[in-house]
Amino acid sequence: MPEADAPPLPIVVALGVFLLLLAGTYMVFHNERSYRDTKAQQIDAQAAILASTVGPALEFDDAKAAQEYVNALASDGGIDEAAVYDATGDLVAGYARSGARPTPPDLARAGHRITSNRILSILPVRRGPSVIGTVYVRSVIEPLSRRLERYAAIGVVFLMAILTFIVLARTQRSLHRKNLELARANEALHAEAGAREKVETALRQSQKMEAIGQLTGGIAHDFNNLLQVISGNLEMLKRRDFALGDDARRMIDAAARGAERASTLTSRLLAFARRQPLAPRSFDVNALVTGMSELLRRVLGEQILVETVLAAGLWRVHADANQLENALVNLVVNARDAMERGGKLTIETANMTLDGAQADAHGMTPGEYVMISVSDTGTGMSRDVQEHAFEPFFTTKGIGKGTGLGLSQVYGYVRQSGGHARIASEAGEGTTIKLYLPRATADVEPAPAARPGAASAADLQDRPILVVEDDEGVRTFVVAGLTELGYPVRVAHDGASALRALDADAAIGLLFTDIGLPGAMNGRELADEAMRRLPGLPVLFTTAYARDTIVHHGRLDAGVELITKPFTLHDLAARVERILASEAARAFWSRDHAAAP
């Protein structure tokens, strides 16, 4: 700590030193005064003794005796002059250390006098009422230097006291400083511990979510393949003109509906697991919210007031707009369920720039985000509920009322989009859920999707489609479906066999491949190799979930065609038809035709 910041010498100490000095000075003065007083008393006493003893000598004119008395006085080292005078003022006996005659002042003035370095006393010698003479005694006051020497001892004591005071003060000040430093360090330690705890909590939470995500993702993947087989075959069953009774058709429809619901469930699980394919683009959130207002009002009903606070100059975001709509609907539904007796729902948007510290506190990466918050005035959430709110299948709603997937889907979507979701809630005080979506780096609208061309799909139907699928059930269904749609089909179960099939039949016009393939080559790599051999070859991917092979950070590469399982035959037909009708496909076809003899 710099010296300038040190607390000033405590006033108490300064005061103490001052008082000590004052006391010291007073003691010296007092000593000096009492010394002089005592000395004066002594001299007066000496004079009185002389006066009383010298009386007879004066009466009987015995100068010798008087001189003896004076000499007796002179043996006192302090007395430098002493004398006896008769009634007429003539010297009878005297002593002066200087050797000269004693030099008394006015003899008529009895009493003692104190000068700077002498004390003298003059007393009349009486015989009854008459004055028969005068005595005069003078003493030197101990020289100042001698007295100061005596005071020096006191001075040293005072000096020591003052020094002790100062040392104590300094010690105390440095102690105070050390204490402050310690307190500061302690504070910093606490803050750091708090921050670390927060980060650890966030880490644990994210690890938990990650684990749950992997689990659900894995389950959903397998489920999608199974559902594909079930729903596909049910569809085939209906399409083929089997002689089925009405009962059988109803049962098939019921099974298909079940499969469809299962498919919805798995897609939501995938959304939470951040493994749903997203089609991000740059868009204006305010426009999206405004466009949804009618829908939201319908969802909320009349008891709930809706307010939108949309920031002016809001940045565009880069995300999947449809999924954001889904997310908002999910949030609004939750808000409605929390406000059974009515209330107010507020949707707010704002630009947020998070610096390192802010981002760390929320487990996010620093940068620019668009915040979309949905607040309600409902029942709110306890801390415990908040901790689990984003987990799949966690619900506070009654059985049959909610799936427990709404918030987890929102969470998965936002995370997959490179953003974050946060809950702020107090039980009884309502809930605010904030979504942060990253700002679009470039406001570029993706090129409009290629419109189906004029060329009839029928022209192209003679070109075989290469189906690469490791799951036998799915493969069987796809082959059967495409065959039924009239497409010639070649089949492979992995990358290597697919390439062999491609080499064997140069007329292949479309590669339809699963992304997850066994062996050395996944679907993406297969497509790359195939396009290297047949430049411009149209490719349609399918997946039970989209992993990084084509979905970078959960977002589809531009121009990549993907159909997610489970799909219906109708979906498949539409996609295949659209691809074959596209400009790119036709360019490929015409080049291929030209190349063909």
Partner 1 sequence: MARRKAARPAMRIRALALALATLAGFAQAAPDDPGLEAAVKATYLYKFADYIEWPAGRFSSPADPLTLCVAGSDAITALVDAAAAGRTLQNGRPIAVRHVALAHERDCDILYLAPRREESEQEALREVRGQPVLTVSDGPVVGNLHAVIAFAVVDNRVRFDIDLDAAAQNRLAVSSKLLNLAVRVRPKL
Q: Residue 128, interface with partner 1 (CB under 8 A)? A: yes
- Closest CB 65 distance from partner 1, rounded Å: 5
One residue of 16, 40, 85, 94 binding partner 1 per CB under 8 A: 94
Q: Which two tokens stand for residue 146?
A: 């001698």
**In the complex with partner 1, which residue's Cβ is closer, 95 or 545?**
95
Select from 9-17, 86-94, 457-465, 491-499 the region that touches partner 1 (CB under 8 A): 86-94
Q: Residue 300, interface with partner 1 (CB under 8 A)? A: no
3-state DSSP call for residue 480?
Answer: helix
**In the complex with partner 1, which residue's Cβ is closer, 20 or 63?**
63
**In the complex with partner 1, which residue's Cβ is closer, 64 or 170?**
64
Q: Residue 75, interface with partner 1 (CB under 8 A)? A: yes
- Closest CB 132 distance from partner 1, rounded Å: 10
Q: How far apart are CA 20 and CA 23, in angstroms?
A: 5
Select from 65-73, 159-167, 503-511, 577-585 the region that touches partner 1 (CB under 8 A): 65-73
**In the complex with partner 1, which residue's Cβ is closer, 46 or 334?**
46
Position 72: which residue type? A
- Closest CB 175 distance from partner 1, rounded Å: 54
Select from 28-36, 63-71, 390-398, 563-571 the region that touches partner 1 (CB under 8 A): 63-71
Q: Residue 369, interface with partner 1 (CB under 8 A)? A: no
Select from 56-64, 201-209, 329-337, 376-384 the region that touches partner 1 (CB under 8 A): 56-64
The arrangement of strands across the sheet holding 304-309 comes to 304-309, 343-354, 367-375, 430-438, 420-426
- 523 dihedral zone (left: phi>0; alpha: psi -120 to 50; beta): alpha
Q: What is the DSSP letter of 4?
A: G
**In the complex with partner 1, which residue's Cβ is closer, 71 or 206?**
71
Which segments within 338-488 are labelled E, that is strand? 343-354, 367-375, 420-426, 430-438, 465-468
Q: How far apart are CA 564 and CA 575, in angstroms?
A: 11
Q: What are phi and psi of 455, to 5 degrees?
A: -60, 135
Q: Rounded to the nearest 10 degrees, how much is the dihedral formed by the CA atoms of 187, 190, 191, 195?
A: 170
- Closest CB 115 distance from partner 1, rounded Å: 23
Q: What is the DSSP letter of 473?
A: H
How many residues touch partner 1 (CB under 8 A)? 25
- Closest CB 135 distance from partner 1, rounded Å: 15
Length of the chain equals 597
**In the complex with partner 1, which residue's Cβ is closer, 71 or 174?**
71
- Cβ atoms < 10 Å from Cβ of 67: 19
- Closest CB 80 distance from partner 1, rounded Å: 11
Q: Residue 91, interface with partner 1 (CB under 8 A)? A: yes
261: closest CA among 251, 249, 250, 253?
A: 253
Counting beta carbons within 10 angstroms of the beta carbon of residue 400, is it exposed (0 to 12), middle (13 to 18) or buried (19 or more)? exposed
Select from 22-30, 61-69, 418-426, 481-489 the region that touches partner 1 (CB under 8 A): 61-69
HSE, CB side, 13 Å, CA atoms: give it for residue 244: 16
Q: Which two tokens stand for residue 381?
A: 């959430």
**In the complex with partner 1, which residue's Cβ is closer, 95 or 411?**
95
Q: Residue 59, interface with partner 1 (CB under 8 A)? A: yes
Q: Residue 60, interface with partner 1 (CB under 8 A)? A: yes
Q: How far apart are CA 524 and CA 554, in angstroms?
A: 15
Q: Which two tokens stand for residue 363?
A: 């487990």
Q: Residue 63, interface with partner 1 (CB under 8 A)? A: yes
One residue of 40, 43, 51, 74 binding partner 1 per CB under 8 A: 74
Strands 465-468, 489-492: parallel, antiparallel or unpaired by DSSP? parallel
Q: Residue 104, interface with partner 1 (CB under 8 A)? A: no
Q: Which two tokens stand for residue 544?
A: 């039970």
Q: How far apart are CA 264 and CA 224, in angstroms?
A: 10
Q: Which two tokens stand for residue 264?
A: 């919805």
Q: Residue 64, interface with partner 1 (CB under 8 A)? A: yes
Q: Residue 65, interface with partner 1 (CB under 8 A)? A: yes
Matching residue, tokens 């059988």: 248
Binding mask 16-55 for partner 1 (x = CB under 8 A): -------------------------------------x-x
One residue of 44, 62, 348, 592 binding partner 1 per CB under 8 A: 62
- Closest CB 56 distance from partner 1, rounded Å: 4
Cα R_g (the chain), whole angstroms: 56
- Cβ atoms < 10 Å from Cβ of 355: 9
**In the complex with partner 1, which residue's Cβ is closer, 73 or 364?**
73
**In the complex with partner 1, which residue's Cβ is closer, 94 or 419?**
94
Q: Residue 98, interface with partner 1 (CB under 8 A)? A: no
One residue of 43, 93, 271, 285 binding partner 1 per CB under 8 A: 93
CB 475 within 8 A of CB 467: yes
Q: List residues near partner 1 by CB under 8 A.
A: 53, 55-57, 59-65, 67, 70-71, 74-75, 91-95, 97, 99, 127-128
